[in-house]
Amino acid sequence: MKTKLTLGYSPCPNDCFIFDALVHGKIDTGDLGFEVQLEDVETLNQKALKGDLDITKLSFHAYAKVMKEYILLRSGSALGFNCGPLLIKSKACSERSRRGKSEKLKGDWVVAIPGELTTANFLLSIAYPEIKNKKVMLFSDIENAVLKGEVDAGLIIHESRFTYQDKGLEKVADLGEFWEDLIHAPIPLGGIVIKRSLPPELQQQVNTLIRKSVEYAFAHPESSMPYVRTHAQEMSEQVMKKHIALYVNVFSVDLGEQGKQAVELMFTKARELKLLSANSEKLILE
């Protein structure tokens, strides 16, 4: 009889690409079975706070809040260069600002964010500490909220970075570039964590299976596309593949030394800025 573990990840193309082989029997999972819960990343962050899942995708910002309960696996993470969140506003807003001869101070802006515990919000807090008036929204609703004038600006993630210009929106700042200039390391966006209470050998087994799932996806890139399409029906094929190419890379197979250092640097910087208290827990599964 298989041991069942609960597994949470998002329906975004990158996660479906990573986990397709694992959850659809394309690799041998041995004595393990997985009960999948598909949720947006902020919902997964909140579930992690409550310890609801054995294994889950979450934002690195959220990981800082649940380190006593979970440990980061080496495989499955989203890190990289030129892939960070974007702060955007409408061109109409810019035109209004020009007519008024002075742009509204960013500290007065109402900014839509994809979740308080997202890495995107963490980066916004570092880059623009003066922005305090934030409105939490589902990430896919943010572009339209900016277009309708419900908020002054929006913090976009995922596939929105490929579509915002087509909708008449413009970039205020690339927070990925901001982070890379500040730290000179790839930006850690999201990772896969597992409960520390599970046996060490089980933690290692899960990590190995996720790595095999990513490797299978890279070796058979079209194999996962039916699963990706099922959960991204409003997205063009081109955007799906751009999304996967941006967020799934060598760090998703294994963090490696560069990836580990990038995660450690983020947590060190967060402590320096008093955004995170000191924690003695081991960050990453060895």
Q: Among all residues, which ones are annotated catalytic?
A: 158
Taking the C-alpha atoms of 5, 24, 231 and 238 in order, what is their torsion angle to the nearest 10 degrees? 130
Alpha carbon distances (Å) from 266 to 38, 78, 180, 242, 283 = 27, 14, 11, 26, 11
Is residue 133 helix, strand or coil?
Answer: coil
Q: Cα separation of 117 and 46, whole Å?
A: 8
- Nearest CA to 249 out of 33, 82, 57 is that of 82
Pairing of strands 153-156, 86-90: antiparallel
139, 147 Cβ separation under 8 angstroms = no
